[in-house]
Amino acid sequence: MPTATSSSAEVPPGTAPGEVPPDGKPVTKLDTNALASDYPRTAWTQGDGKTVTVVAQEAGCGKASASVLEQSASVVKIELLETLPLTKEMCTMDIRFPPLKVQLDEPLGERTVVLTSRQEQK
């Protein structure tokens, strides 16, 4: 069953956006072809390899979340979603790069992580 999260991962103080924390293992097989050219491309595992953290992008009133779309023997597909408000409202003009965790059924191992992103209004 896919696991989703909308909470930011715990990243040690002093870790820059897009930087893998000292206790993380970088994902070496990362397919980011579906992401916009200016989107972050950082992912790592922690602990037993079942927790994958990806760096998302959100701006203004948007809120980023991540969910596992598919898990197979060779691929893990993770969607990064930015939810925007339906109504017009005053928002800051900042861009944030929150680290988001997803839980896998089995450790990532040698599987490829495929990242996709989209925006949705709610």
- Amino acid occupying residue 2: P
Look at the chain and report how many structural domains it folds into. Answer: 1
pLDDT of residue 2 exceeding 60? no
pLDDT tens sequence across 68-115: 999 999 999 999 999 999 988 899 889 999 999 999 999 999 999 999
State residue 67's pLDDT score: 97
Mark 69-94 as b/e (b = at least 16 C-beta within 10 Å). Answer: eebeeeebbbbbbbbeeeeeeeeeee
CA distance 42 to 99: 9
Q: Report whether pLDDT(13) > 70.
A: no
pLDDT in tens, 38-73: 899 999 999 999 999 999 999 999 999 999 999 999
Residue 3 lies in a domain: no
Q: Is the pLDDT of residue 6 over 50?
A: no
Smallest CA-to-CA distance from 27 within 96, 106, 115, 116 is with: 115
Domain that holds residue 109: 23-121
In a domain, 89, yes or no: yes
In a domain, 17, yes or no: no
Alpha-carbon distance 53 to 7, whole Å?
A: 11
18 belongs to a structural domain: no
Residue 79 inside a domain? The answer is yes
**Residues 111, 122: Cα–Cα separation, whole Å:** 33
